[in-house]
Amino acid sequence: MDDWLTAAPGVPAVLVTVARVEGSVPREPGARMLVQADGFLGTIGGGHLEHRALDIARAMLRDGRKACLERFPLGPSLGQCCGGIAYLAFEPVDAEQLALLAARRNEDSWRLVALDGQAQWGLFDGQGRLLAGQAGPSFALDAGTHVLVEEGGRRWLLDAVLAPRAHLMLFGAGHVGAAIVRALAELPCRVTWVDEREEEFPATVPANVSIEATDTPEALVEKAPRGTTFLVMTHSHALDLRLSHAILSRPWDDWYGLIGSDTKRRQFEHRLRERGILEARLAAMVCPIGLPGIAGKAPAVIAASVAAQLLSLWEAAAHPEPSSESN
């Protein structure tokens, strides 16, 4: 997802950003690829467009050229069947800017980069306050990545580097939990991985994962913001039940998945009903988890199925369908 932020410090690189699109193109504005002399990180969609962008970026590295904006008609000139037009911004990577962005993975940031004239960039927080670099023209925070044009015609890349909106709180560091963490490593989400047993966590975790080793996991449930997605798969059915009660007692209808069989579901429904959980919340509890039709029990199989289920959920939340009500 944001592997372009993992470049080795001090190695010259060019950042290629999809700045604007017209019609059908492989990637959306804000897609990025970091190009070095002997490799690259990220993708702007592959195909001839990406190969051409790699050539331009590496020529910039050789020649020391400044930032620029290039227009690519995908059909006639590049032979890609999508046929739209992609505008790509090319800029030499600033090490300070990249380091700040890497440290702000879970916070919204805005990049403002001059595409004409003197080299200039500014990095701003989610409220538009300058963090580093130089301030440029004013901009609105309600638009995504695009090309901003000043009154005099000078062009700027305004690039929204936004924290993932999807947040999963995953309870359980066993085999399935670890497989799910690996499956979500490059997806647009943040994962809070929780277990009582600190020794169960691996020595390294993906960049989008934070670890919470705690004896009071219910407290994390209570503090989690509205819209958090929950998955429970601990080593203890008693702990699963306590967490289920805490999650389903929240005042919001956050998505909740519990690992287990239909039999476990019926047992938990009975016990949670006795503890005062409403029928509507019990009905919304997802157990078993994963996509229907995938019956494999291997951790990697479960993880692939659950990752697809979560991605579908998060996509639907990010792009809600229009109301079916009439005018």
Q: How many CB atoms lie within 10 A of CB 309?
A: 19
Domain spans in the chain, listed from the N-terminal domain onward: 3-161, 166-318
Which ranges of 224-274 does DSSP label H, i.e. alpha helix? 237-248, 262-274
User: Strands, E, within the chain: which ranges?
Assistant: 14-22, 32-36, 39-42, 68-73, 85-92, 109-114, 121-125, 130-133, 146-149, 155-161, 166-171, 189-195, 209-213, 229-232, 256-258
Each of the 327 residues of the chain gets a pLDDT tens digit; together they read: 567 887 777 789 999 999 999 988 889 999 999 999 999 999 998 888 999 999 999 999 999 889 999 999 887 665 555 668 999 999 999 888 999 998 898 899 999 999 999 999 999 999 999 999 999 999 998 889 999 999 889 999 999 999 999 999 999 999 999 999 999 999 999 999 999 999 999 999 998 999 999 999 999 999 999 999 999 999 999 999 999 999 999 999 999 999 999 999 999 999 999 999 999 999 999 999 999 999 899 999 999 999 999 999 999 998 777 655 544
The span from the CA of 166 to the CA of 190, in Å, is 6
Q: How many CB atoms lie within 10 A of CB 259?
A: 23
CB 254 within 8 A of CB 229: yes
CB 88 within 8 A of CB 69: yes
CB 15 within 8 A of CB 95: no
CB 42 within 8 A of CB 34: yes
Partners of 155 in beta bridges: 149
Pairing of strands 155-161, 109-114: antiparallel
Written out in words, the top-level CATH class of the domain with range 166-318 is alpha beta
The full DSSP string for 78-113 is T--TT--EEEEEEEEPPHHHHHHHHHTTTS-EEEEE
Residue type, 138: S
Structure tokens at 274: 């006795």
Q: How far is CA 247 from CA 5, 53, 221, 223, in A?
A: 34, 47, 6, 11
Three-class SS state of 219? helix
DSSP symbol at 201: S
Give CA 71 to chain center in angstroms.
Answer: 27
Three-class SS state of 304? helix
Q: Residue 9, preceding bond cis, omega within 30 degrees? A: no
Which of 27, 299, 91, 63 shows the shortest CA–CA distance to 182? 299
Q: Is 195 exposed, middle or buried (0-12, 13-18, 19+ CB in 10 A)?
A: buried
Which of 255, 252, 281, 250 shows the shortest CA–CA distance to 268? 281
